[in-house]
Amino acid sequence: MLRIGALDVPDGDFVLMAIVNRTPDSFYDRGATFGMGAALERVDRVVAEGADMVDVGGVKAAPGEEVSPAEEIRRTVDLVAAIRAAHPGLPISIDTWRAEVAREALAAGADVVNDAWGGVDPELAGVAAEAGAGIVCTHAGGLPPRTRPHRVQYDDVVADIVTRTTALAEAAVAAGVDRERVVIDPGHDFGKNTRHSLEATRRLDELVATGWPVLVALSNKDFVGETLGVPLEERLTGTLATTAVSAWLGARVFRAHDVAPTRQTLDMVASIRGTRPPLRTVRGLA
C-alpha cells in the first residue's frame, strides 16, 4: 500500500500529481501562477481535471536569481494553508530541499516533502518524520541544488539511480518516516543528459523491482525536447508517450503540468492493463 496524506493507493493504481508553481520565473508557465489568486484557481482547475494531489513549489529547479529560505516560505506556506482550507482531503506536497521550508509547509497542511535534490539537507527526512509526512527521494547525481549537469558520466546510470534512491529511502525510514509514505524518483534531467534520462525510462522496471513506489517527473522536460527536436511548447506528445511507457513499466506517481491529457493517458494504460474498466462498452452490442 502506498499512502499519500489521507489517500490510500492500492497496488496498481496511478496517482496524478499536478504542479502548482508559486514562482515568477518557472521554465514552463513563466510565472502564470505566481499570484495567490492564480495559484488557487489552478488548484481548483486541476482537481476538476482529475489530479489526485498537488505539488507546490517556490523555487525553480534551474539556475537563476537566489531565493532565500524566508522568501521560499513566503511564496509557499500561505498557499499550502489556503489549499488545505479549500480542499480538506486533497494531498499536498511541498517541493523543497530545505528542512526549514518543509517544516513550515508541513505545519500549514502539506502531507509530503518532494525533495528533488537527493537529500542535500540531512535534516529533511527527520522533519518529515516529525510531522508524520511522506517523502520523495530523488536521484540528482550528487549535484548541488539548482545546478545543471556538465559532461556527467556514470558507469551505469540506472545502477547509480537504484543505489542512491534506495539508500535515501532506507535512511528516511530510519529517521522515522512511515515506510508506506516513501517514494523514489529517478530524477529525469537532474544530474543527467538526455541519453541518461532515456535509459532511465527504458529500464524503469529495475527501479520498480526495488519494491519502493516510483514517482516520475517527466513533464515537458529537456530530454523530451532534445529527443524530438522540439521547443518547450511542443513537448506534450513526447511527455505523454514517456508517461505511458513509465506507467506500463510500473511507475505509480506522475508529476505533470498538463493534467487532463495525462489523466486520460494513465486511464488508458490502466484499462489496457486490465485494472480499470472502460467507462462505456456498447460497441458491437447494440
How would DSSP label each residue in 95-130? Answer: E-S-HHHHHHHHHHT--EEEETTSS-STTHHHHHHH
Please give the grid coordinates belonging to residue 263.
489523466
Q: Is 120 exposed, middle or buried (0-12, 13-18, 19+ CB in 10 A)?
A: middle
Q: What span, in angstroms and rounded, lies between the C-alpha atoms of 40 and 219?
A: 21
With the C-alpha atoms ordered 175, 164, 18, 182, is the resulting torsion angle positive or negative? negative
| Identified catalytic residue from 221, 235, 252, 263 | 221
Active site residue 255: yes
Q: What span, in angstroms and rounded, lies between the C-alpha atoms of 56 and 90?
A: 12
Q: Of 249, 257, 253, nearest to 273 (Cα)?
A: 249
Q: What span, in angstroms and rounded, lies between the C-alpha atoms of 71 and 203?
A: 38
Amino acid at 249: L
Please name every residue paired with 135 in a beta bridge, in sequence order, or none if there are none: 113, 182
Q: Is 116 exposed, middle or buried (0-12, 13-18, 19+ CB in 10 A)?
A: buried
| Identified catalytic residue from 164, 192, 255, 263 | 255
Please name every residue paired with 92 in a beta bridge, in sequence order, or none if there are none: 54
Please give the grid coordinates belonging to residue 207.
527501479
Rounded alpha-carbon distances, angstroms, from residue 259 to 16, 84, 197: 8, 20, 22
Active site residue 221: yes
Residues labelled catalytic = 221, 255
